[in-house]
Each structure stands twice: as C-alpha cells, then as structure tokens.
Structure 1
Amino acid sequence: MLKLAKTSLLVAAIMATSLTASDILVTVNGKNITKQDAQALVAAQAPQLNYETLPPQQQTMILDRLIEKELFTELAAKENIDKKPEFKKNLEKIKNELLVNMWMKEQMDNVVVSDSEAKEFYEKNKDKFIGKATMHARHILVKDEKSAKEIIDTLKPLKGEALKNKFIELAKTKSTGPSGPKGGDLGTFTKEQMVPAFSKAAWALNKGEITTKPVKTQFGYHVIYLEDKSDAKPISYESVKENIIASLKQKQFASKITELAKELKSKATIVNMTKDTTK
C-alpha cells in the first residue's frame, strides 16, 4: 500500500500500448526513449514536478540518465547478468511486487465517493474547514531604534493615501529588508508566519494605520503599515471538495484492504515458524 503512489506512474507506463512520434525523445540503438520514460524518472524523485516544464538543462540531465540506463542495460544483457540465479530470484520478487501494486491500484480505482457523501462530510465537519485570519502589511526595517522613531515622526501627521504613499517612498529609500524595493510590501500572511513581536503589533492595527512605536525583533526595528486585514472565515465546499473526495476514497480503500486482509488470513494456512515450541 505504501508503494502504491510511487508505482502508479510505472504501472501506467507499462500498460501504455501506443505512442506518437512526438512522444519519442531519442532512440538508442533502435530503442525508443519517450516523454513517459522521462516523466516516470522525474516522478520517482519529485512527484510534484513535470518533465516538460523543467528547465532545458534539467531536461538534458534527465535524458542523459535515461540514455545511460539503456546503454548499461544492453551491456548487462551482453554479459549475461539475466542468466544468473540472483537475477531470476530478484526478478520474481519484482514481479510479485508489481502484481500486488497493480491489484492495489485497481482496488483504489474501484472506490467511489459521491458528491453527496463528500458534502455530508463537509457539513458534519465545518469546524475543520476554517481559513485562518490573514493580513496584508508593509514594513520599514532599520538597524536602530532612533531611525525607526524618526520615520514614525515623519509619518504620524499623514493620513489616507498620503500616508501610504509616503510609507512606500520611505520603505524604498530607508528599509534594509529585502522587501524595501517593493515599498516594504510583505504580501498576505497569517499570524503564525511572522515572529511573535511583529504579529502582535501588526494585528493590533486597523486598516491604513502604522505602528506608533518601533517594533523590535531579531532582525532590527520595524515600522509597520497595515494594508488590509481579514478575519478567519469558513472555506467553501467547492474549494475543498476534491480534497474531501480523495481523503474519503483513501479512508474507504484502507478499510476495505484491512477487512480483506483479515478475511484472507482467516482462510489461509499460516504456520509461524518463529514461535518458540519448547515452552
């Protein structure tokens, strides 16, 4: 079961029966190496990546590995590695593993979760589908408290757009943080994503306000401007529907396999040869 996700792409590649010319990346001594081969190699190491969207340099590296693999395979065959007892023994193990993995995949594919089941789960667990409170802020980071106070004194008399524009201007010219060139823009974040002192000061602000005292953290002294704030709110069903269905499918699949394993064990002749029979 644990290897199912890693082998699904391999199974798909094995079961594929037709290729187009555009699928073939290169031939090695007449053997085709395809986009599917490249994707299987990429997915084995980083399932979230796609071969066709990788930078050209990485695609070339992947292709080189596949070419080398094919050449080494040919060499191993010439040296009759496949005739050795160890090869045949290990091949049988791989065949059994592939057999079970393909069967597991079929069982998983046969699990069906309806929209109504997913919606019922959502309704019963609404408290678990709550988006965290977020805020959008800017900051000016300086090394000493005096500089931060001078910036605050400059900004205090201003309001509205005048305050925001001046803050952005000062962030670009005085902030030592990496967000300085962007007017101090930190984007949207949750409380947990910032250090405690910064979050506490930022969450105490109302939209369009600045901190009236320097905020000290391990990075230096901050002056913070609040762009916007959003309270925690329910996540819509449509936003989590696919995740719910996938989770329920996995749960049903695991339950089905557990029950089937119990049934098969009860009918099988299982002799535990490790038991101590002397007692």
Structure 2
Amino acid sequence: MLRYNRIAAAVIVAGLGLHLPAFAAEDAVVAKVGDLEIRQSELELAMNSLDSQLAQLPDEQKKVAALSSAIEVKLLVKQATAEGLDKTDDFKKRMAFLSDRELHGAYFRKHVADSITDAEVKARYDKEVAALPKEEEVKAAHILVATEEEAKDVIKQLDAGKDFAALAKEKSTDSNKDDGGDLGWFGKGRMVPEFEEAAFKLEKGAYTKEPVKSEFGFHVIKVEDKRVTPPPAFEQVEPQVRQLVMRDKYFALIKKEKAEQKVEISDETLRKEYDEASKKQDEQLQQ
C-alpha cells in the first residue's frame, strides 16, 4: 500500500479550520435573543463547531443543535458583559490566543491548503509510486483434499489432461470449489508458509507435481498468472496524497519562518524537547 504511515502524519492539519463555511452574500438574521442577533454566518460557524457526536446528525437536526448552542451563548452574553467579564485579564488573554489561532488558520488556508494544485498532488503520487518496492503477486487456484493419496490422484489426473477447474469442483473440500479453486491474486505473507513457498516457485501455468501439506490438508496448486503488485489507483488515494502535500507545504512554510524569525524558549528542558521535535519534522520533509 502507499506509505500510509507517512500519509498519517498529515493530521497536523486537524483543528486548523479547513472547512469554514462560505457565508451567503446576504447574512440573514435567523434568530434574536433580546436585542442580540444570531445571523446565518454565526449559525454556520456553530454547526462547524459541534462536537463529533452531534456532527454526525442529519443536516436539519444538526442545524437545530447548532441554533440551540448559539441561543444559549447569547442568553448569557448580556449578563457576562454587564459583570465586566470581558474586561478581565483572563478573558483578554483568551481572546488574544483565539485571535492568533484564527490568523494562523487563515494564513494556512491561503498559503497552504488553497494553494495546492491537482498537478502537485499527481506529481507526489507518481513519486510515491516510483519509490514503492517491486513485489510479486500470483494468481492461483488450488484443490484441497484430506489425504496425500487423494492429492497424488488429483495430480495424476492433471497429468493425464484433466481440467484443473473441473477437478476442483469434483474433488476439493475448500469453500471455493465451485469457483474452480480460484484464490485470486495474492502477495507474499498472505498464505500459510508451505502454500506460499510452493506457489511462488511455480511458473505461470504450472501446477505442483507433489502434494503440499499444510494445517488445512493437502493442496494441489496451480499458478494462473504472475505480476508485479500494482499500486493503488490515484483516485483511491488522492485525498491522502493531497494531505501529504499539505503537510509538507506547511512544514516547509514553518521552517522558512523559523529561519527568518528568532525563536527563544526560556525553559531549558522544554527547549531541548522542542528542538528534537523540530529536527524530526525536518527529517520528514526530506523523506
């Protein structure tokens, strides 16, 4: 498969607000709480802020949950303002943090997420595919019987010209007997060792001349075809590859800004751990 362990590193984009709504040109008022208005834009923001369980609801139920949440906020805003809670140092610090995070997200969307082209994603896919190890697969069928004598009799009939699929339907005890013993395509590590070793030694079109014993019984194996394992289709992994491109663009952007802006960490232990994390991030970019 296509380096899913690397693609998984793209989770750094989580929480950056990549799916903010496109607000309507006319930001209609959908509800009022006293003299405070709740507009469509705020409702859509509330919908995108629902916790994971509520976010799974059908759209109409999700909209009601978001509206309920927005109303609850407005119900307490006037009292909170009257008590001067918006003037406290703690509130101001929180607002500054949220403002910084939103600016970070806006810059990320403009210069990373929204800047990715389809050509970049396809080029990264081609690069990953080219780096994949070339692994062999075989397309095989088998006839499974209980005893070595039965297996030898099957081989004797094959040597005499009997059709493999017809013999599988007649003799095999496996559940795929009606399909002529067809096992489809498989690579190494998918079958029990004895079966795998025998199958991968066979040439295309050949069958085992001696019974192959495994924990399931005695097999007569035929290899129908061989090939190099094909990569996953671009359409199948495009979202993961796009996130990989996004991750690398983000890391590159951060690396550039670190080179231009001085970062100082007063706590020595924390600084060392941060430097180590930054080093690993740089290593990921080079892979």
* TM-score strictly above 0.5: yes
Q: Deviations over 1:84-125 (max 9, x none)?
A: 77888666544433321231232224477978xx59x95xx9
Structure 2: gaps (5+ residues): 1-8, 33-37, 270-287
Q: 1:206 to 1:193 in 2, by over 3 A?
A: same
Cα distance in 1 for residues equivalent to 2:249 and 2:243? 10
Q: 1:2 to 1:199 in 2, by over 3 A?
A: closer
After TM superposition, the runs of 4+ consecutive aligned structure 1 residues lying more than 6 A away are 27-32, 84-89, 111-115, 242-246
100, 106, 114: which is aligned to 1:102?
106
Which residue matches 1:17?
23
Which residue matches 2:154?
154
Cα distance in 2 for residues equivalent to 1:31 and 1:265? 42
Are 1:135 and 2:138 an aligned pair? yes
Residue 67 of structure 1 and its aligned partner are, at CA, apart by 5.0
Aligned residues: percent identity? 22
Q: 1:169 to 1:79 in 2, by over 3 A?
A: same
Are 1:191 and 2:188 an aligned pair? yes
Q: Deviations over 1:123-148 (max 9, x none)?
A: xx997345421110122345x4x1x5
Residue 192 of structure 1 and its aligned partner are, at CA, apart by 2.9
Cα distance in 1 for residues equivalent to 2:161 and 2:61? 57
Structure 2 residue matching 1:17: 3-state secondary structure:
coil
Q: 1:140 to 1:88 in 2, by over 3 A?
A: farther
Which residue matches 2:62?
66
Number of aligned residues: 230
Structure 1: gaps (5+ residues): 20-26, 46-58
Spell out the pairing of 1:85-234 with structure 2 (5 A cutoff).
93-108=97-112, 109-110=114-115, 128-142=131-145, 144=146, 146=147, 149-158=149-158, 162-170=162-170, 174-175=173-174, 177=175, 179-231=176-228
Q: Deviations over 1:19-42 (max 9, x none)?
A: 9xxxxxxx999998xxx99x979x
Residue 200 of structure 1 and its aligned partner are, at CA, apart by 0.7
Cα distance in 1 for residues equivalent to 2:247 and 2:219? 46
Query: What is the root-mean-square deviation of aligned Cα atoms in Å?
Result: 5.2
1:160–1:208 CA contact under 8 A, matched in 2:
no
Cα distance in 1 for residues equivalent to 2:207 and 2:93? 71
Question: Which one-letter code corresponds to 1:11 in the other structure?
Answer: L
TM-score between both structures, scaled by the size of structure 2: 0.55
Cα distance in 2 for residues equivalent to 1:249 and 1:75? 36
Which residue matches 1:6?
14
TM-score between both structures, scaled by the size of structure 1: 0.56
Residue 226 of structure 1 and its aligned partner are, at CA, apart by 1.2
Question: Which one-letter code corresponds to 1:13 in the other structure?
Answer: L
Q: 1:74 to 1:87 in 2, by over 3 A?
A: farther
Residue 174 of structure 1 and its aligned partner are, at CA, apart by 2.2
